[in-house]
């Protein structure tokens, strides 16, 4: 049971405290605490916790992989208008994780998230407009989202998809 496991993890951690540095066991206990907290907050309807926990379920990271549960948690966050949840749902449609791959739906959710100034969604739209995935291919829209993303201080991770001519247009827009 989780309570039994927690008890023994904490006991083992106490017995390794004399080593003077964070042990692998202490790290596992910290992760266990994070997962437990996210489960509690998620049950209370906190969107950020729902999204964090959903990511863990998709990856099987310190929880048993469960894409159906992840999708359920993401949808709870999306129902509350959470931009991180919208972004994650867009990614699930883009990659076909737990749903059929659907670029149109991916673009829809990325757009909803990007309109709430979620940087990763803005960056994703740059790529989608540049490649014409789920949206009409449009360098103008790609540059618009690149500018918006950069204006909000985001990384603009898809810069390499632009050739030198398009990059100079972007530089003109941001100045």
| pTM attached to this predicted model | 0.75
Examine the pLDDT at 123 and tell me if it is beyond 80: yes
The rounded distance, in Å, linking the Cα atoms of 24 and 79 is: 38
pLDDT band at 38 (very low <50, low <70, confident <90, very high): confident
Residues found in the chain:
175
| Contact criterion met (CB below 8 Å) for 121 and 114 | yes
Token representation of residue 167: 């990059």
Q: Which long-range contacts (CB under 8 A, 24 or more apart) does 78-83 make?
A: 78/109, 80/45, 80/47, 81/116, 82/47, 82/48, 82/50, 82/51, 83/112, 83/113, 83/116, 83/117, 83/118, 83/121
The rounded distance, in Å, linking the Cα atoms of 58 and 112 is: 22
Average pLDDT value over all residues in the chain: 82
Residue 22 or residue 126, greater confidence: 126
Q: Is the dihedral of CA 46, 96, 124, 140 positive or negative?
A: negative
| Contact criterion met (CB below 8 Å) for 113 and 94 | no
Range of weakest confidence among 32-41, 55-64, 104-113, 148-157? 148-157
Q: What is the pLDDT of residue 43?
A: 87
Residue 160 or residue 50, greater confidence: 50
Read off the pLDDT of residues 131-164 as tens digits, 9 standing for 90 and up. Answer: 999 999 999 999 899 888 887 776 555 554 555 5
């Amino acid at each position: 049971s989780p309570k039994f496991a927690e008890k023994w993890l904490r006991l083992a951690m106490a017995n390794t405290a004399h080593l003077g540095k964070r042990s692998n066991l202490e790290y596992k206990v910290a992760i266990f605490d994070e997962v437990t907290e996210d489960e509690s907050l998620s049950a209370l309807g906190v969107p950020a916790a729902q999204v964090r926990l959903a990511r863990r379920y998709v990856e099987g990271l310190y929880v048993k992989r469960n894409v159906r549960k992840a999708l359920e948690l993401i949808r709870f966050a999306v129902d509350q208008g959470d931009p991180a949840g919208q972004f994650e749902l867009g990614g699930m449609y883009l990659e076909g994780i737990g749903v059929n791959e659907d670029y149109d739906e991916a673009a829809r959710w990325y757009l909803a998230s990007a309109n709430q100034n979620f940087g990763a969604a803005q960056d994703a739209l740059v790529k989608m407009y540049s490649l014409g995935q789920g949206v009409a291919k449009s360098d103008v829209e790609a540059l618009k989202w690149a500018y918006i993303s950069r204006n909000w201080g985001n990384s603009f991770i898809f810069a390499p998809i632009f050739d030198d001519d398009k990059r100079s247009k972007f530089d003109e827009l941001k100045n």
